[in-house]
Structure 1
Amino acid sequence: MLRFLDAGESHGKALVSIIEGLPSNIKIDLDYINSELGRRQKGYGRGARMKIEQDKAQIWSGVRGMVTTGSPITMVIYNKDYDNWKDILESKPEEDKKITVPRPGHGDLVGFLKYKTGDIRDVIERTSARETAIRTAVGALCKSILEELDITIRSKVNSIGTIQDEEADLFDNSNYKIIEESELRCYNKNIEAKMKNQIDICKENGDTIGGSIFISMKGIPAGIGSYSQWDRKLDAVLSFAVMSVQGIKAIEFGNGLSQSLTGSRFNDEIYYENNKIERKTNNCGGIEAGVSNGENIELKAFMKPIPTVRQSIASIDLKTKTNVTNRYERSDVCGVVPASIVLENVCAFEILKEMLNKFPGDNFMEFKRSIEQYRNEIYTY
């Protein structure tokens, strides 16, 4: 079974992951992984931290000559900002230096109450979205493997606040080039300008703004996932992963939130065309009964506004037990663009895991051969 753990603090020495379950003989493309980390650092509305960090992953184990051996893979990303924080993080603070005012919307209060270290700094360091850098690196490794299997995952920003971008075919390369070159990863330039203006207004007002992200996954064969147990359903697996990303508060598959479609119009009718099973709609988002149906798997993820705001909002001081206003810590104004890259790679890990569950193999040639044989059988049914 493919799995990983990650560790590290936002301003600690490094972020680390150990990945277990990858077959041997997979060529690792470190440039691809680092390019995904670079994509994550871009975007209109990003904060000052991205001017400090230049994220690059290192691989410390599980490869030889940049080819997997079947052993656990260790990946490391050093935090450059650690040099500015090591005096704070390597010693216990004096009582008057402890953070005791929680920021509403963050994990500050619940972490303080749960772990009782007496200092919210310990909570901030692990709940920070900085953790998504190592998750992106893990996912990028998986995403590059999926591309070897003709599975592609792409995304775009669907909305910023109430401003909606227009729809676009992500697998039309000319469309996707426009999206990739956009600072807000959207398709319509006029809409992009409106989105930027909204972000600028929030920045000026000491506020933040959220939005939504559209993700499409092409090339996943029918039959991935299972309806036999609730926790093996593919949409449930993807939902768990997507919702675990900081700031994501809702998810929709296909047109699942549409209130205008009746059952007869929502169902994706099935046809035989050219001796192949075809669909003309994809309202279910490529998943039926928890199992992929061969269409693109499509979902939207909704991200709340980043809770760190410069405006004064009500909070409490846990030490003095008085009502105060919140404290501010460096933050982005809008995190929707980097979240789109994180989610591509988070989904890649889950899809590769499900592919390995269905087509287990100790080496990549065996794994790939099983998938090719399955595709030949299922698509000629």
Structure 2
Amino acid sequence: MTNFPKKCWYVAATCGELGRAPVGRRLLGKDVVLWRGADGRVAAFENRCAHRGFPLDRGRIEGQTLVCGYHGCTYDRDGCCRYTPAQAQAPVDMRVTVYPVREDPPFVWIWLGPPAAAATVEPPATPWIDEPFWTTFGNSWRVRANYMMVHEHLLDFSYAPVVHAGDVPSGLDRMPAFSQVEVTETTVSYLRRIPGMPLTDWQRRATGLDPNLRYDHSESGTFVSPAMHRQYWAVEGPDGRQYVTTRTHAITPETEESSHVFMQSSRNYRLDDSEVTAVLRTFLDRVVARDIEVLEMVGAHSGYDGWRGGVEFQSDAAAARARRIVGVMLAREAGRAPIRPGFAPTQRGYARGARRRGPAPSAS
């Protein structure tokens, strides 16, 4: 039983990870090898030689082929074995499983569902990462927690004054309620306004704004798909300009109990200032380390469905709707008649402030 949809593009790696050596990675419970041929194109195979099961990421790349490090079986991009030193001709039917991949910098996307369905779905687009009025840097982590726990953590920022007390505006003891939660059949977006607050230390150093003034802040984001979440933090300057820092999180299940997170942080201010990049990198490394610590505590203590049956707050509105979307995707894959998530432009059903959670989505 798993709670991650298969008919979905997930990030397998960042483009820069794939160079002269193959890269092995477990994705959605499958062992995959990624490699880049001499022509620059990326391929993805099951990480297992068809002869004796040797891991292909321990082999080498030669031109447009991947060579097994055990008996020298040589595979082309289509997964067919074209040569083996053991005999004059490789067996005609000797091949490995090939997975569809798309390279859209900075990400390499992989499809691990039914191959024929890959052409019917597009990976999420991330045009802002390369646009000239944004500057971006990235990092990646492995988290010992289920991927939906990571999503729900990002969709509920109410923990920030507790978990990140030193990194939120001074005097912010409680995050305001959502101003808006909007739902489509496949996405959840939310907005939270935080008016008249001072700058944090990292905001002061990054934006260069006057630390003696108070500013209107906002925190917003979108559950784009089971594979992606985009989060914004904006500060409105005295002239009305929006100083926006956004994080694009590509979240890929490794197993039911662990995840890969590929993060790209972008900003629309002081684009060429390397000191600002250093400030933001240090800040995010610190924040993410604490986030991972919290998520792994829950995962270790309660397992991947540790939040099942917990009490929900108003701040869980976006996360609850994301779970519903994933549940519908899983129901469709299992051939069950789904209920459409519907569209709710504002919070509903949370007037009492808390309610009991329903079951976590699963494939069975």
Give the structure-1-normalised TM-score.
Answer: 0.26
More helix by share: 1
Relative to its length, the structure with more strand (as a share) is: 2
TM-score (structure 2 length as normaliser): 0.27
